[in-house]
Structure 1
Amino acid sequence: MHWLFGDQLGPHFTRPSDDGGPARDTPLLMIEARSVFRRRRFHRAKAHLVLSAMRHRAAELGDRVTYVRADTYREGLARAAGDSPVTVHHPTSYAALRLVCSLPRVTVGPARGFLVPLGDFAAWADGRGGERLRQEDFYRWVRRGHELLMDGDEPAGGRWNLDHDNRRPPPRDSAVLDVPRPYRPQEDEIDEEVRRDLDRWEKDGDVSFTGRDGPRLFPATRTEARAALKRFVEHRLSTFGPYEDAVLAADPVLSHSLLSAPLNLGLLDPAECVERAESAWRDGLAPLNSVEGFVRQIAGWREYVWQLYWYFGEQYRDRNALGHTAALPDWWNDLDAGAVRARCLSTVLAQVRDTGWTHHIPRLMVLGGHALQRGWDPAAVTDWFHRNFVDGYDWVMVPNVVGMSQYADGGRMTTKPYTTGGAYLNRMSDLCGPCPYRPGDRTGERACPYTVGYWSFVDRHRARLARNHRTVQSVRQLDRLGDLAEVRRRQRALGDSPP
């Protein structure tokens, strides 16, 4: 039998190839393990999406698959396979890899669903000394190796990086971006069955969830995922680039693709996504800056995060260079947006509560920035992101949160901590206008929690930040503040309470 995990659902996981994979007539196995949902308090929409996707895939595979609902993976495997040999593609987490490697008669094959084999990345990284592994260098290497957006040996358009063209603030004359709506799937009887099961599990006290489970917003089948990709490329890709960093309270999606969830379920292959986007540019259907921004997200960042997860090793998740140890408060764990007065945080927390998704700027600057400024334990923050985002998996969140968001690796992944005061949020969003706080105020009753938090963060870590050429200017500015004592007092007064 060949075992398919719940994030290995596309045809590229069942297709034979030179590096292995099941033969066309190999029986397939899928295991739905209830213990996964007991171990962690996942977002209900995430649990719904994963189970819906697994059950839809099993229905498509028909008699070829044995679908087992069990308490644990070990129990399900023993029941379905007995003493028979089993193959499986390289799982996407250290925990799952330990499990399959500990099982007798299970053979682990290469990973699928990514552009670069793990061994090729390791050779590239080792060749650079294993330390300075910047995403921009990796991205260019992938572009060259896969001939993505290339004109011969040069990048299309003459520049590798078009970020300068993709940082426009949102339009000030509209609450929403004037673009066609994203693809939205239609629920069916499988979704209804999943929802009934989740209701029963919660009622029995077997599991507990965060968030809300409204109509399913993300693809759960290969057909839906391809339709979502098609709609994005044909109707939304052209406007994606300029506003990819912008934030609108009433339009959390803007022109983002919403393809991270089906990609991370294995319903789409990254190669088909970037190749389709490049074809749109070459056919004159989308501008280069939008296409390059989208290709960078997948062939650059997504691929980079996957590779670093394995290259840095399992202990990377425990890094805590800044010594942050504060516990996450209940209002944060419960996604209690109503308890928060700061409009940016309340809006974004409500988006997570209601959908299990926000785009990368709210994740990094609003959610991650607040956690970093409060000094919360980075391992707990990582777990929170993993549980509450529909596209969140261990391999996704460990580098993204430990390295990028919380700077807990001390700069091994990024060159500076990514946190900001209210001025940036005011420039890149429409969130600050109706807020009871003022983005430019450090002191007084209307002092912005992010502005106070930013300067408090710089103050706490001034010795480290003074040694970094990208942050030394902030330390110099800090030393010129005449109200630093009041900033410190306001930060202490905030405590664990919602801002």
Structure 2
Amino acid sequence: MAPRPHWIFGDQLGPHFLDPRHGGPDAHAPVIMIEARSVLRRRRFHRAKAHLVLSAMRHRAAELGDRVTYVRADTYAEGLERALGRPVPLAEPTDEGDRLTVHHPTSRRARDFAAALDGVEILPARGFLVPHAEFAAWADRHAGTSLRLEGFYRAVRERHGLLMDGDGPAGGRWNLDHDNRERPPRDRDTLGVKGPWRPREDAIDEEVRHDLDRWERAGDVSFVGRDGPRRFPATRREALAALRHFITHRLPGFGGQEDAMLAADPVMSHSLLSAPLNLGLLDPAECVERAERAYREGDAPLNSVEGFVRQIAGWREYVWHLYWHFGEDYRDRNALRHTAPLPGWFLELDAGAVTANCLSTVLAQVRDTGWTHHIPRLMVLGSRALQDGWDPAAVTDWFHRCFVDGYDWVMLPNVVGMSQYADGGLMTTKPYTSGGAYIHRMSDLCGPCAYRPSDRTGERACPYTAGYWAFLHRHRERLAANHRTARAVHGLDRLTDLGELLDETARRGDAPP
């Protein structure tokens, strides 16, 4: 019997998605790839993201050669019809050899589409450390309590033997986050580490850029942000090179200032591996195993390695499973009842319209690269949205569209749960927002700013400081009952200028801060 054809999505591009040893298709199975233009029409993506995904898909197709049928179509359904030579929805096949296989897609929309096709068998998910059944068993054991990251992270470490010394964690502590909150250097504007690995564009990149230009001129699609040169891996070989470069040159200095921000050094010591990981070009196991090897061989300190392992084996796995565990209605959660639309300057990534230096700088980073690290995402971009009461569904969509590593499974829990607290505490114990003092402490962004982080009112009032107190006031009753925010809420009673602050905040409205 001829091997069954196997369909791979644009975020399933690594060799582990075609490995029969781990539940994949037959070693000689023909492969189907579909480049569906409707995906780009559905959302107004960042141009660099569209370029990266199409470049990665076309590079993978070139590697697979005659084994792949690569179809450029309007929709997935049209692409399947052309690839298989039979109509969609697929009828139940009379011969098992006619059944199409696909690994569990990463979005509900794609999963539901594939599941509705009788002639498709969905294989277990790949690209993650923890199978769905293993997470479900862990969640069942904690039913009625909480599904916090820390407990899950420890379970993953124990189950996979990551950074373990016998039955306990390496170094005696599970989480070294408190060691990774150092301020940025005050005597220089960069961290001073070797720069990140960068790719060289080729003829495929040129072809993709030509197609995007053509589609945009025709009015078929529309983008935000800037494109070029490509900054992230689009092939397995490039992804491995980026991983080796990070482990060798950047991991040793990653931990201490993991949460710091520098205007002239947006990358700091961060790995930039989220994009190739989420394209499926890297497997998370190889990333954390190489990092642990660096620690065991004395090439990187434990706080750096543990912080990196926690990002991948902890947070990334946790977010992936919560996306499925919480269900589809999680998308509509809005515990704080925030409904304000995203302002035009934010939607257009118009950094020039913004006076606040931290927000202008970070928005420019997103505009120019489609990326910024987790603290600017959470404490500058997300905090602005939370303080101003923007609709969390719209904020989620913005992060999905505007980041090269943004996918539905990535951004839904990260934004609804972590950033916007729209789930009311299912995922985190408190809203993550702050006044300007935090940004001043953890960055060099406040010095040249027109606003002062200590000022709540007046011409030089920091929009984050004023916004923080306005947010606490707006949700006073809810936050006073939260043990992690109650003390801050009680601080409202000591503000003699609260009325003036609220008036000024209301007058600003959705004007750029």
2: distance between equivalents of 1:383 and 1:130?
31
Q: Distance in 1 between matches of 2:118 and 2:69?
A: 19
Asked if 1:65 corresponds to 2:68, the answer is yes
Q: Which residue of 2 aligns with 1:53?
A: 56
Q: In structure 1, what residue type is equivalent to 2:425?
A: G
Give the whole-Å Cα distance in 2 for the aligned partners of 1:332 and 1:157: 44
Is 1:76 the counterpart of 2:79? The answer is: yes
Matches within 5 A, 1:24-423: 24-83=27-86, 84-129=98-143, 132-423=146-437
CA contact (8 A) 1:87 1:109 kept: yes
- Deviation of 1:221 after TM superposition, in Å, equals 0.3
**Does structure 1 residue 2 correspond to structure 2 residue 6?**
yes
Give the deviation of 1:127 after TM superposition.
Answer: 1.3
Structure-2 separation of matches of 1:238 and 1:486: 48
Q: Which moved more, 1:255-264 or 1:103-112?
A: 103-112
2-side partners of 1:81 and 1:110: how far apart?
22
Gaps of 5+ in 1: none
SS in structure 2 opposite 1:66? Answer: strand
CA distance in 2, matches of 1:163, 1:102: 44
SS at match of 2:20: coil
Matching residue within 504, 507, 511 for 1:490: 504
How far off is 1:468 after superposition?
Answer: 0.4
Match of 2:16 among 12, 18, 22: 12
| Distance in 2 separating the partners of 1:346 and 1:177 | 21
Which residue in the other structure is 1:455 paired with?
A: 469
Structure 2 distance, partners of 1:488, 1:496, is: 14
Alpha-carbon offset, residue 131 of structure 1: 5.2
Find the aligned partners of 1:208 and 1:104 in 2 and give their Cα distance: 34
1:102 positional shift: 1.3
Alpha-carbon shift at residue 479 of structure 1 (Å): 1.3
Letter in 2 for 1:489: D
Q: Could you tell me how far 1:85 is from its partner in structure 2?
A: 2.1
Amino acid at match of 1:368: G
Give SS of 2:102's match: strand
CA distance in 2, matches of 1:99, 1:134: 31
Bigger mean CA offset, 192-201 vs 130-139: 130-139
Give the distance between the partners of 2:47 and 2:118, measured in 1 at CA.
34
For 2:172, the aligned partner's letter is: G
* Letter of the structure 1 residue corresponding to residue 123 of structure 2: G
Name the SS for the 2:21 alignment partner: coil
Task: Determine the C-alpha separation between the residues in 2 that align with 1:426 and 1:338.
Answer: 21
Q: CA RMSD in A?
A: 0.7
- CA-CA distance at 1:401 after TM superposition: 0.0
CA deviations 1:434-486 (Å, max 9, x no partner) are 00000010011100000000000000000000000000001110111111001
Letter in 1 for 2:7: W
- 1:164-192 C-alpha deviation (Å, 9 max, x unpaired): 11000100001111100110000000000
Hey, what does 2:91 align to over in structure 1? none
| TM-superposed deviation, 1:130 | 5.7
Deviation at 1:82, TM superposition (A): 2.9
Q: TM-score, normalised by structure 1?
A: 0.99
SS at match of 2:334: coil
Matched to 1:67, the amino acid is Y
Deviations 1:19-67 (A, max 9, x none): x211111000000000000010000000000000000000000000000
Higher deviation after alignment, 349-358 or 477-486: 477-486
Question: Quick one: distance in 2 between partners of 1:367 and 1:376?
Answer: 11
Hey, what's the Cα distance between the residues in 2 that align with 1:61 and 1:314?
35
Query: C-alpha displacement at 1:194, in angstroms?
Result: 0.1
SS in 1 for 2:271: coil
Task: Provide the secondary structure at the position in 2 that maps to 1:17.
Answer: helix
Cα distance between partner residues in 2 of 1:317 and 1:356? 23
**What is the alpha-carbon distance in structure 2 between the residues aligned to residue 192 and residue 131 of structure 1?**
53
Match of 2:89 in 1: none
Distance 1:31 1:120, change over 3 A: same
* Aligned counterpart in structure 1 of residue 488 of structure 2, from 455, 458, 474: 474
- Name the aligned partner's letter for residue 463 of structure 1: E
Amino acid at match of 1:15: D
- Check whether the contact 1:131–1:412 (CA below 8 A) recurs between aligned residues: no
Kindly provide the CA deviation profile for residues 185-223 of structure 1, in whole angstroms up to 9, marking residues without a partner as x. Answer: 000000000000000000000000000002000000000
- Alignment partner of 2:422: what SS? coil
Identity %: 75
Whole-angstrom distance in 2 between the partners of 1:41 and 1:11 = 30
SS in 1 for 2:465: helix
Task: Give per-residue Cα distances to partners, 1:362-405, cap 9 Å, x unaligned.
Answer: 00000000000000000000000000000000000000000000
For residue 35 of structure 1, what is the amino acid of its counterpart?
S
- Which letter maps to 1:376? W
Q: Give the SS at the match of 2:7.
A: strand
SS at match of 2:428: coil
Alignment match of 2:443 (pick from 429, 434, 444): 429
Kept in 2: contact 1:162–1:289 (CA 8 A): yes
Is the CA contact (8 Å cut-off) linking 1:183 and 1:231 kept in structure 2?
Answer: yes
- Amino acid across the alignment from 2:75: T
